[in-house]
Chains A and B, each alone.
Chain A
Amino acid sequence: MPDPAEKLTVDFFSPADCLVDIFSRALSYSQNIHVKAAGLGSLTFSGSSRRFLADTQDLADFLRQPPQRVQVSVLSSKTDLLAENPAARDAEELLWQAAFYGSNGRLLQGCHWSDVVQLKRWPNLTRLPTTSNAFRILAIFYQHPTSVYLASRLLKIPAAEVYQVYSAAHAAGLTRAVNREISEPQLKPHRQRALLSSLLERLSIR
């Protein structure tokens, strides 16, 4: 159990302070929108087919823009140009990225460090930005739902990194908060833990 005497510093960010809110709303209302950022290109997002297509040199830079720096126009809902476009990507990848870049080590408003988090399914990590420990964070939430706080402590990872990964996964709709008391999961060490660690280290070298 978390020690109540131990103070956690948590900075929050609002989905309205980054582009998460714009895309989440379009998804909720099945709206098709076009988002343009001066000098950075544009992006078409289809809430109806849950896909997007970016026309940008640097999507990360585009997604770091605050909402007041982008122009949003609503497109016709009668035709969805992205539904059959093989270059379009899944909406959840965009929401992950928007929250990941918006987080900057902060926790998405509406989430809490004591949330017991379960990862419903893995994000498509081969096509998404991650942190150095994102795989471990996601694995613990996938296999042993626990609190953000305990995940940070058990894995010995800075809380800010867990916040960033949790915020991205939450915005992408990949997590659910489990309604139960926080308990420390019993992580059974693998019989070849040292070997697995060496391999993980080896794979991390580019």
Chain B
Amino acid sequence: MEYKIIFAGPVGAGKSTAISTISDVEVVSTESRASDDVSLRKETTTVAMDYGRLALGNGQAIHLYGTPGQERFSFMWEVLTIGGLGLVLLIDNAADDPLADMEFYLGAFAKFIRENAVAVGVTRMDLQTQPNLKQYNDKLMQLGIRAPVFEVDARRRDDISALLQALLVMLDPSIKR
């Protein structure tokens, strides 16, 4: 049985970076030179998925999958979630409408979230302070979703680790380390 955690979110939110920050192995990435409006934001973008791995020391491992951010690859999202333990949703606060982005991705993964859990990480808050975390929480409440929301820098292991820890305790608060 393969156990996995899914990283989702729009283009440029930091999914590939987050996975490489926390993974034990070099991330397998399917990056391709961006050709559409994505090229205005970054040179390359994930077109199939990113893959990383966290070894647990008892022979088991958690597989980390990053979904492609572009909507035209949305047909892959549901397939990638099969067997997933939970979802990490990364949102770029410097995007045009990050709250709408969050709503879109929560909707796209609604069934998976209902059956599992989601933790939201907001990136690039140092560049753009609004919306703030309270506004994200208000939006979640409006959507009827209960989830932790943290400010994250996808390059910082502690930040991604905190998101994952919150995701795990949302799945089962009584787990012990």
List chain A positions with a Cβ less than 8 A from chain B.
86, 90, 121-122, 124-127, 135-136, 138-140, 142-144, 154-156, 187-190, 192-193, 195-204, 206
Q: Check A189/B174 contact, CB under 8 A, given A124-B150, A198-B56, A198-B57.
A: yes
CA distance A202 to B60 in the complex (A): 12
Question: In the complex the two chains form, is B58's CB within 8 Å of A196's CB?
Answer: no
CA distance A155 to B152 in the complex (A): 27
Question: In the complex the two chains form, is B150's CB within 8 Å of A136's CB?
Answer: no
Question: In the complex the two chains form, is B56's CB within 8 Å of A202's CB?
Answer: yes
Question: In the complex the two chains form, is A199's CB within 8 Å of B164's CB?
Answer: yes
Per a CB cutoff under 8 Å, which of B151, B161, B162, B176 touches A156?
A: B176
Question: In the complex the two chains form, is B137's CB within 8 Å of A121's CB?
Answer: yes
Question: In the complex the two chains form, is A199's CB within 8 Å of B62's CB?
Answer: yes
Instruction: Let me know if B96 is at the binding interface, CB within 8 A.
Output: no
Name the segment of B43-51, B98-106, B126-134 touching the other chain: B126-134
Question: In the complex the two chains form, is B162's CB within 8 Å of A200's CB?
Answer: no
How many Å from the CB of B146 to the closest CB on chain A?
7
A–B Cβ pairs within 8 angstroms, 5 of them: A86-B127, A90-B132, A143-B146, A202-B57, A203-B165
Residues of B within 8 A of A142 (CB): 146, 148, 170
Residues of B within 8 A of A86 (CB): 126-127, 129
Query: Closest residue to A188 on the B side, CB-wise?
Result: B172
Question: In the complex the two chains form, is B175's CB within 8 Å of A122's CB?
Answer: no
How many Å from the CB of A137 to the closest CB on chain B?
8
Per a CB cutoff under 8 Å, which of B60, B129, B132, B177 touches A195?
A: B60
Question: In the complex the two chains form, is B150's CB within 8 Å of A140's CB?
Answer: no
Per a CB cutoff under 8 Å, which of B129, B161, B171, B174 touches A203?
A: B161
Residues of B within 8 A of A199 (CB): 54, 56, 62, 164, 168
Q: Which of A124, A155, A199: most chain B CB closer than 10 A?
A: A199
Instruction: Let me know if B173 is at the binding interface, CB within 8 A.
Output: yes
CA distance A188 to B170 in the complex (A): 12
Per a CB cutoff under 8 Å, which of A90, A156, A189 touches B172?
A: A189
Query: Closest residue to B163 on the A side, CB-wise?
Result: A126
Question: In the complex the two chains form, is B165's CB within 8 Å of A200's CB?
Answer: yes
Q: Check A197/B133 contact, CB under 8 A, given A124-B151, A126-B159.
A: no
Question: In the complex the two chains form, is A125's CB within 8 Å of B168's CB?
Answer: no
Q: Check A126/B171 contact, CB under 8 A, given A86-B126, A195-B56, A197-B177.
A: no
Instruction: Let me know if B78 is at the binding interface, CB within 8 A.
Output: no
How many Å from the CB of A148 to the closest CB on chain B?
14
Question: In the complex the two chains form, is B158's CB within 8 Å of A126's CB?
Answer: yes
